[in-house]
Amino acid sequence: MNKQDILSAFMFRHACKEFDPAKKIPEEDFLFILETARLSPSSLGFEPWKFIVVQNHVLREKLKDGAWGATIKLDTASHFIVCLTMKAPLIRYNSPYIINFMSEVQKWEGELLENRKKTVENFQKVDFGLAGDDKLFEWASKQCYIALGNMLTAAAMIGIDSCPIEGFNRKNTERILKEEFGVNTEEFGISYMAAFGYRIKEPRAKTRRELKDVVIWK
Ligand SMILES: Cc1cc2nc3c(=O)[nH]c(=O)nc-3n(C[C@H](O)[C@H](O)[C@H](O)COP(=O)(O)O)c2cc1C
């Protein structure tokens, strides 16, 4: 792939406000998009995410409550994601999830594992000062946005439109996720929603500041 093709995909990508409800993303293509989320980097490699793909329209209706930025997308998107982010009971340095993750997924062993545990504890307690539960969640949430960026770009590269969504009331949506989706909201919160499909009309021309106004060279 050459640079111009990649930039064309960045120009193609826009926050799609309304999708063509008649057009469905082939399963293979959507699995490709999810794979780019799965392979995304995260701080210390902890993958503090889970993605609910909401294809059931009864559940999509329930998500509309308080989700002012998602309504038309919930009606028209081919595929709709809710990104769950791990909260403190899962993501704190000494949680059973993290301890298990370091040995079973990351394959750390013996002395290297013990050193790693100390590094993670020091990073969370001292380097990044993530003592409070809210801070840990926001830190984990930042990682989830990397996966979001990758999904949006990957989708654009294969001609699929998307929209990232923060237009919802977090507390309200977490209540819906708990009551209607069976999510354990002690362990998971929501970072964002994301809709995927095919545009029904062309977007406005893209607006951005110029590179010279964004970058400082020293
Ligand atoms: C984290 C995030 C949340 C967003 N939330 C919404 C949303 O709720 N509804 C919406 O229509 N667009 C939403 N957007 C889209 C932005 O408004 C859009 O990306 C921005 O205006 C730039 O336009 P472009 O993406 O079309 O280039 C969101 C974008 C991001 C990155």
Give the distance (Å) from ligand 1 centre to CA of residue 175. 24
pLDDT in tens, 122-150: 999 999 999 899 999 999 999 999 999 99
How many residues does the structure list for the chain?
218
End-to-end CA distance of the chain: 31
Give the distance (Å) from ligand 1 centre to CA of residue 124. 30
pLDDT value of residue 59: 98
Q: Which two tokens stand for residue 55?
A: 């294809």
The single-letter DSSP state of residue 35 is H
Which residues have C-beta atoms less than 6 Å from ligand 1?
14-15, 17, 69, 163-167, 192, 206
Closest residue to atom 6 of ligand 1, CA basis = 165
Residue 194 has pLDDT above 90, yes or no: yes
SS3 call for 205: coil
Q: Which residue of 138, 144, 165 sits with most ligand 1 atoms within 8 Å of its CB, as the best mutation to test the pocket?
A: 165
Residue 117's identity, in one-letter code, is: K
pLDDT in tens, 65-115: 989 999 999 999 999 999 999 999 999 999 999 999 999 999 999 999 999
Give the distance (Å) from ligand 1 centre to CA of residue 150. 15
CA proximity to 196, closest of 158, 170, 168: 158
Q: Is 19 exposed, middle or buried (0-12, 13-18, 19+ CB in 10 A)?
A: buried
Q: Are 81 and 54 in contact (CB under 8 A)?
A: yes
Report the alpha-carbon distance of residue 60 to residue 37 in Å, rounded. 22
pTM for the structure as a whole? 0.97
Q: How many helices (H) and strands (E) does the chain have?
A: 10, 4
Residue 1 has pLDDT above 80, yes or no: no
pLDDT value of residue 66: 83
pLDDT in tens, 151-191: 999 999 999 999 999 999 999 999 999 999 999 999 999 99
Q: Tell me the domains of the chain and their CATH numbers.
A: 3-214 (3.40.109.10)
